[in-house]
Structure 1
Amino acid sequence: MATVSSTAPPSSSKSRWNQLSVYASRIFFVLIIFQIPLFRVPCRSGMCTTPMQVTSSQLIASDIFPVPVVKALLYPGATTNSLIKNMTVPSWENLLNIYNLTNIKEASAATDLQRLEVLAGSYFSVAGALIGLIKAGRMSMFGTLLIIWGLVKEGILNKQANPDPTRAVFVYPTMLIALVCAFLSVKYDVKRVMRGTPARPIAKPLQRSSKNKLN
Structure 2
Amino acid sequence: MATKGWASKVSSISSRIYFFLIILQIPLFRISCRSGMCTTPIEVTSSQLIASEVFPSPFVKALLYPGAIVHGLIKDRTFPRWSDLLDLYNLTTVKEASPVVDLQRLEVLAGSYFCVAGAIVGILKPGRMSMFGTLLVIWGLVKEGMLGKPVNTDPVRGVYVYPTMILALICALSSIKYEVKKAMRSAPARPIAKPVERSSKSKLK
Give the TM-score normalised by the residue count of structure 1.
0.86
Matched residue, 1:58: 48
In 2, the alpha carbon distance for the partners of 1:91 and 1:169 equals: 30
Q: 1:90-101 counterparts in 2 under 5 A?
A: 90-101=80-91
- What's the % identity of the aligned pairs? 66
- Answering whether residue 60 of structure 2 is matched by residue 73 of structure 1, we say no
> SS at 1:132's partner residue?
helix
Aligned twin of 1:130: 120
2:135 to 137, 145, 159: 145
Q: Which residue of 2 aligns with 1:168?
A: 158
1:202 & 1:177 partners in 2: Cα distance?
A: 43
Match of 2:17 among 27, 30, 38: 27
Q: Which residue of 2 aligns with 1:7?
A: none
* TM-aligned CA deviation for residue 191 of structure 1: 3.0
TM-superposed CA distance for 1:12, in Å, is 1.7
Q: Which stretches in structure 1 are left out of the alignment for 5+ residues?
A: 1-10, 205-215
Cα distance between partner residues in 1 of 2:144 and 2:11: 31
Cα shift readout 1:98-148 (whole Å, capped 9, x = no counterpart): 100011111000000000000000000000000001000000000000000
User: TM-score normalized by structure 2?
Assistant: 0.90
Aligned residues of 2:104 and 2:150 also touching (Cα < 8 A): no
Count of aligned positions: 196
Question: How many Å separate the matches in 2 of 1:202 and 1:160?
Answer: 54
Q: CA deviation at 1:196?
A: 7.9
* Partner Cα distance (1:110, 1:161) in 2: 13
Instruction: Please name the residue that 1:3 is paired with.
Output: none
Q: Is the 8 A contact 1:117 1:147 kept in 2?
A: yes
Pair 1:37-2:39 in alignment: no
Matches within 5 A, 1:10-21: 11-21=1-11
Conservation of the 8 A alpha-carbon contact between 2:144 and 2:150: no
What CA RMSD, in Å, does the superposition of the two structures yield over aligned residues? 2.1
- Cα deviations across residues 65-115 of structure 1 (Å, max 9, x unaligned)? 111011000000011111101111110011000100011111000000000
Structure 2 gaps of 5+ residues are 195-205
| Conservation of the 8 A alpha-carbon contact between 1:159 and 1:168 | no
Equivalent-residue separation in structure 2 for 1:113 and 1:160 (angstroms) = 10
Question: How far apart in 2 are the matches of 1:113 and 1:101?
Answer: 18
If you compute each CA radius of gyration, which structure gives the higher value, 1 or 2? 1
Query: Could you say which residue in structure 1 is the equivalent of 2:79?
Result: 89
- Partner SS state of residue 37, structure 2: strand
For 2:188, which of 198, 201, 208 is the aligned residue?
198
Q: Which amino acid aligns with 1:183?
A: L
Task: Note if contact 1:28-1:178 (Cα within 8 Å) is conserved in structure 2.
Answer: yes
